[in-house]
Amino acid sequence: MIRKYLRAFRAYKKRTRLYKSISNGLEILQATGKTPEQAYHDMRELFVFTAGKSNDVISTKLSQSKYNNIDPLNGVLNLKTKQNFDKALEGIRQDGYFVFDTKLSEDAVNRIVEYAKTTPCKYRKIAENSTGTDYKIDVVNVEEIFDENQIKSPVYQFGMDKIIACKEIQKLVFDTSLLAFAQEYLNTKPIVDLLAMWWSVPYAGKGKSEAAQMYHFDLDRLKFIKFFFYLTDVDGETGPHCYVRGSQKKLHPTLQRDGRFTDEEVEAAFGKENLMELGGKKGTIMAVDTRGLHKGKDLTKDKRLIFQIEFANSMFGQTYPPFKKLDFDAEDEATYSKYEFTYSQIMSK
Ligand SMILES: O=C(O)CCC(=O)C(=O)O
Ligand SMILES: [Fe+2]
């Protein structure tokens, strides 16, 4: 009996300490624009300790007013009706992901692929003795054009400066259907905090952990949503995004830790029927809450190019290098100014 109370008391003290650290961290973020490293780690620790609940509690407190002038039906998501919008929203709320009916146009896909083929990217050098499960990231800082005949790594990623410089991608960054959807999901004005694009190629199962090809949850922010755009055809062999249906709701008791998880332990916890392999033709668009368990399946042939844009409810968390503002088209400049808060990470020149 006493032991039980002691345990509860210790847990209470731990929760209080971590909540306090995060709350201080939020104040420091507000004053300096940067989250203290410790507060970020405490956010992760508390997330695991509370099976995810802490992030929901803090996020509810952080919610601010929403934009009320966005047309959610006009834009790349091509939702057309309010019913479709609500269905998609309900989909991601329930399952943690939603694959939209529409696709990015073939022209747009081709232009981005062409850009990716001619723009230097960085690769992640995987230690020779990598077992696939250890987690040593070593991003080689040399930028080079991706050459599929000379593979050096399972993934080749583009820097944010390179990504935002692509005209076709700028249209996606400033697409207001994405903004409207993210705002509803996050229940607050969202911030575009991350752009990512990378090639994935077969690498004999090596470096899976480094390449996000083992199950994990993302936790760079308190609450976030990622839109994925497949830019190549993706099937079971060419690296589908894999998502554990419903796993965004709370951490499974057998997986209550931070790090990478094996397929076996994830299957034992959630059942095979909930392990979704999200293949799709090029142009496929999906919204994913990657606080749920997910991975990229390692490829056995060909290559995959994916573009991703993340909206977060706060900049609390990991510090990324800011991206530089370029000159955008008049329409994009207008969106940039109209929703300044959302694009605040896209810095002035
Ligand atoms: O490659 C994938 O599909 C997974 C990527 C991933 O882990 C992420 O974007 O957070
Ligand atoms: Fe991830």
Structure confidence at residue 133 as a pLDDT band (50, 70, 90): low
Atom 1 in ligand 1: residue holding the nearest Cα: 296
Question: Rounded CA gap, 69 and 307, in Å?
Answer: 27
CB contact at 8 A, 196 and 260: no
pLDDT at 139: 63
- Ligand 1 binding pocket includes 157 (Cβ within 6 Å): no
Q: Is pLDDT above 80 for 286?
A: yes
Q: Is pLDDT above 70 for 5?
A: yes
pLDDT single digits (tens) 135-190: 555 666 778 999 999 998 899 999 999 999 999 999 999 999 999 999 999 999 99
pLDDT at 324: 77
Counting residues of the chain whose pLDDT is more than 90, the rounded percentage is 83
For the CA of 296, the nearest ligand: 1
Please report the atom of ligand 1 found closest to the CA of residue 290: 10
CB contact at 8 A, 123 and 309: no
CB contact at 8 A, 197 and 124: no
DSSP state, 246?
A: T
CB neighbourhood size of 273 (10 A)? 8
Q: For 347, phi and psi rounded to 5 degrees?
A: -65, 160
Q: Is pLDDT above 70 for 321?
A: yes
DSSP readout, 311-330? EES---S---PPEEP-PPPH
pLDDT at 347: 72
Structure tokens at 57: 């509690």
Please report the atom of ligand 1 found closest to the CA of residue 240: 3
pLDDT single digits (tens) 229-272: 999 999 999 999 999 999 999 999 999 999 999 999 999 999 99
pLDDT at 53: 97
189 CA → ligand 1 middle, Å = 24
- Ligand 1 binding pocket includes 197 (Cβ within 6 Å): no
Please report the atom of ligand 1 found closest to the CA of residue 218: 10
Query: How much is the mean pLDDT over the chain?
Result: 93
- Residues for the chain: how many in total? 349
pLDDT at 323: 74
Structure confidence at residue 37 as a pLDDT band (50, 70, 90): very high
25 CA → ligand 1 middle, Å = 27
5 CA → ligand 1 middle, Å = 41
| Pocket probe mutation, ligand 1, options 210, 295, 299, 309, max atoms within 8 Å of Cβ | 295
Lowest-pLDDT choice from 53-67, 114-128, 169-183, 256-270: 114-128
- Ligand 1 binding pocket includes 296 (Cβ within 6 Å): yes
For the CA of 217, the nearest ligand: 2
103 CA → ligand 2 middle, Å = 22
- Ligand 1 binding pocket includes 308 (Cβ within 6 Å): yes
- Ligand 1 binding pocket includes 241 (Cβ within 6 Å): yes
Q: Is pLDDT above 90 for 52?
A: yes
pLDDT at 82: 95
Give pTM, 2 decimals. Answer: 0.95
Counting residues of the chain whose pLDDT is more than 70, the rounded percentage is 95
Question: Which of these, 300, 48, 339, lies nearest to 180 by C-alpha position?
Answer: 339
pLDDT at 85: 97
Alpha helices in the chain (DSSP H): 2-32, 37-49, 53-62, 82-95, 106-118, 160-164, 167-173, 176-186, 263-270, 330-338
Question: Rounded CA gap, 120 and 166, in Å?
Answer: 13
For the CA of 198, the nearest ligand: 1
CB contact at 8 A, 123 and 197: no
- Ligand 1 binding pocket includes 260 (Cβ within 6 Å): no
- Ligand 1 binding pocket includes 170 (Cβ within 6 Å): no
pLDDT at 326: 86
pLDDT at 104: 98
pLDDT at 130: 60
CB neighbourhood size of 327 (10 A)? 9
Q: Which residue type, as a one-letter code, is found at position 256?
A: Q
Please report the atom of ligand 1 found closest to the CA of residue 226: 9
287 CA → ligand 1 middle, Å = 12
The mean pLDDT value for 319-324 works out to 79
Q: Which residue type, as a one-letter code, is found at position 32?
A: T
For the CA of 308, the nearest ligand: 1
pLDDT single digits (tens) 200-217: 999 988 888 878 899 999
pLDDT at 2: 85
pLDDT at 346: 84
- Ligand 1 binding pocket includes 290 (Cβ within 6 Å): yes
